[in-house]
Chains A and B, each alone.
Chain A
Amino acid sequence: MSSQTQQAGGAAPTTASAPAPRRRRRGGRARWTGWLFVAPALLVYAVFVLRPMVVSVQYSLYDWDGVGASTYVGLKNYSRLFTDSVLSHSILNAFKLIVFFSAVPVLLGLLIATSIRAIAASRLAVVARTVLFLPQVIPLVAAGIVWSWLLSSTGFVNQVLGWVGLGGVTRAWLGDFTFALPAVGVIGAWVLLGLCTLLLLAGMTKIDPSLYEAARLDGAGAVREFVSITLPALRQEIGVCVTVTVIAALASFDIIYISTQGGPGNSSMVPGLEIFYLAFTERQVGQASALGVALMLLVLACVLPVQWLTKERDE
């Protein structure tokens, strides 16, 4: 859904958008010709996405090392997601990352976008639009490398802490059992903050300014203005931000692979990386597939309610 069609996009777009005038019935054959246009796309999609999805479910019911014979084990691989501490811990970590990847960028983004709403048309804001998109343009791998260096024991983060007299708390953040996961979360927040801010700002500039003037005349303060006017009008944009960032958190791989490899111990292990290790180093193909299926379902379970809550209601 482009922003011009004014509706929430993402996981559950409405097919009832932009009602087209009822067409004249074409002849019987012409009405089916459309399928020829869909066929090539559907073929590639079926072979490289739908088939692996189905096979994922199939693999997940077996014990298989990728080479020899496989044994049918039913749902054991799924029950292990709850009982095996490493597996359940990785899923828990994914939820912890949502706080950093989603809550921080969306809340901070709201705060910043509200503050710069007044100067959204200024030259500074135009420059900012480019600068704030930089983290979205570079590969996540690069973000991981840069931040690994910034967060290292002699890195810039500790340098700044030393300047402000917090030299006592400096440490190798990514090598610390307590702080590795939050440190990874900070990297994700950095990547997503600019995108969220700009999306929310774009939504705010569409709000009718006379609403704000009326609120001012009624003596509403900044907070009241935000809660009564800005938030309700931004429901759709907030939904988009939450959707994008939650998927980024649950499916995180690149940043963690580069910065911590899931360590120290398993303290920053996430499902995406665990699937990679299970499938390609520990040769537990069935278990890797089960975690993959669980991850797909987890993303849907988190994204669909958000879509439903923030969809434009048809007035």
Chain B
Amino acid sequence: MIVQRREALVGRVLLVLLMVITVLPFVSLVVTALHEPGTYPEGISWPDSPHWGNFADAFEAAHMGTLLLSSLLIVAGVVPASLLLGTMAGYAFGHLRMPGHRAVFLLFVLGLTLPFEGILTPLYYQVRDMGLLNTRWAIILPLIGLFMPFSVLWMRAHFVNVPQELSEAASVDGANLWQQFWRIQVPLAVPALSSLGLLLFLWTWNQFLLAIVLVDDPTKRTMAGALGAFQGQYGTDIPLLCAGSVLILAPTLAVFLLFQRQFVTALLQGSVKG
């Protein structure tokens, strides 16, 4: 049908346009990073002699090696703990449904839409009194708490759909709840767990607000927090700033492109839940 062919063409043109708008800022970033340090390039323009050395300079200036390690440590603190606690609670809310579970579940739901800024001030004094300011724990522990509503909700959604017969068969075989959980339920929950893990990794890696408030030393922050500090330091040297930004973005983009299908699925599902 003619109508459909024209519709498809309009669709393609619009889609390409949207993709161009999405990608252009990234192109601008890379191109600008190749200009002579300290200059103000005009718009998007290819430099006469690309300064590939900017990346090496930015790598030094941003302490990329230390940063990667720091971010990985924070992720290693947040993600496994969130997965474990979220799965246990999700199992209880979705599968065991003990007396009074509904009220406490609602308490978790309450935290789902919480803007971090709302509790930022007391959190700062609480972390200070715990003696954790300026340590990675200052980011790790609050993030586990702040991600808990989402983690619990996500895992509960999985466990609600697990048939009760599974547990009944297992208890007939004499497995207690703890054994049932580890031997039967957790292996079945692996797909849900891995999507959740991806999302939590991304949100931890990109966490900015907690990092700048609770940790002064950029080398103990998340990637995003370090980028903020880098901008404060090199904000006037546009090419160097862009080179640093490219480097700081590179790991995220690499991981995203590697696991793109899982990411897209998880992000789509994640927005529906969050």
By a beta-carbon cutoff of 8 Å, the part of chain A in contact with chain B is 1-5, 8-13, 15, 17-18, 20-21, 23-24, 30-35, 37-38, 40-42, 44-45, 47-53, 55-56, 59, 66, 112, 115-119, 122, 124-125, 127-143, 145-147, 149-150, 154-156, 158-160, 190, 193-195, 197-199, 202, 240-241, 243-244, 247, 250-251, 253-254, 257-258, 271-272, 275-276, 279-280, 285, 288-289, 292-293, 295-296, 299-300, 303
Nearest 4 pairs of A and B residues by beta carbon? A48-B145, A159-B43, A34-B98, A251-B115
Not counting A10-B272, A134-B22, a sample of 19 additional A-B residue pairs whose C-beta atoms are within 8 angstroms of each other reads A9-B157, A9-B272, A17-B160, A38-B88, A44-B141, A47-B145, A132-B18, A137-B202, A140-B206, A140-B208, A142-B245, A142-B248, A145-B242, A149-B28, A149-B32, A160-B43, A190-B22, A292-B120, A292-B121
Number of interface residues of B (CB under 8 A): 114
Main secondary structure of the interface of A (DSSP, over half): helix
Q: Decide if B11 touches A49 in the complex (CB within 8 Å).
A: no
Tell me the complex Cα distance, A315–B175, Å: 39
Q: Decide if B42 touches A154 in the complex (CB within 8 Å).
A: yes
At the interface, yes or no: B14 with Cβ under 8 Å from chain A? yes
CB-based nearest B residue for A66: B125
Q: How far is the CB of A270 from chain B (nearest CB, A)?
A: 9
**Which residues of A have CB within 8 Å of B42?**
154, 159
**Which residues of B have CB within 8 Å of A35?**
92, 98
Tell me the complex Cα distance, A52–B93, Å: 24
A-B pair number, CB within 8 angstroms = 335
Residues in B25-71 with C-beta less than 8 Å from chain A: 25-26, 28-29, 32, 40-44
**Which residues of B have CB within 8 Å of A48?**
123, 126, 141-142, 144-146
Q: Decide if A138 touches B253 in the complex (CB within 8 Å).
A: yes
CB-based nearest A residue for B265: A3
By a beta-carbon cutoff of 8 Å, the part of chain B in contact with chain A is 4, 7-8, 10-12, 14-16, 18-19, 21-26, 28-29, 32, 40-44, 81, 84-86, 88-89, 91-93, 96-99, 101-102, 104-109, 111-126, 141-142, 144-146, 148-149, 151-154, 157-158, 160-161, 164, 168, 177, 181, 192, 202, 205-206, 208-209, 212-213, 223-224, 227-228, 231, 238, 241-242, 245, 248-249, 252-253, 256-257, 260, 263-264, 267-269, 271-274
